[in-house]
Amino acid sequence: MATILDLIKHYQHSIEKYPNDEQKILKCIDKLYNLGVTVQHLQDTGVGRTVNALRKEPGEVGQAARALVYKWKVMVASEESDQEGDIGNDTTNSYGYEYGKDCDSYPSESRNRLDKQ
């Protein structure tokens, strides 16, 4: 069975191979719209750039491409905000100290540096 990545590459290739076949392009856009495409897939294949170039096309192709690009942009923004949320929930900094703790919980050399200021 073909992976999502294989399917994306197949539809992307078809779009590039048949730039004047409106029905084939619409079918490929529809298939891409219904696939579980992730940010990683977009980065690995470059299909976002391929579909984005179709947004300027007149008629149904342009409309379908705009809808797909919009869907992907929402997905990317959602994934990015999820990742930011994960970072925001981490209460330790890069030195291993926890945020929100009083100064007494830091190692003594850090406390001494703070006292000298």
The range of the structural domain enclosing residue 42 comes to 4-87
In a domain, 99, yes or no: no
Q: Residue 46: CB partners within 8 Å, gap ≥ 6?
A: 12
Does some domain include residue 96? no
Output b/e per residue, 11-32; b: 16+ Cβ within 10 A. Answer: bbeebeeeeeeeeebbebbeeb
In a domain, 95, yes or no: no
Domain count, the chain: 1
Instruction: CATH number of the domain at 69, please.
Output: 1.20.930.10
pLDDT-based confidence at residue 33 (cuts at 50, 70, 90): very high
Average pLDDT over residues 48-64: 95
Q: How many CB atoms lie within 10 A of CB 42?
A: 17
Query: pLDDT confidence of 61, banded at 50, 70, 90?
Result: very high
- Residue 23 domain flag: yes
DSSP tag of 97: P
Closest CA to 15 of 3, 4, 31: 31
More confident residue, 76 or 98: 76
Query: Residue 40 falls within a domain, yes or no?
Result: yes
Determine the Cα–Cα distance for residues 108 and 114; give it in Å rounded to an integer. 10
**Does 92 reside within a domain?**
no
Average pLDDT (1-25) is: 95
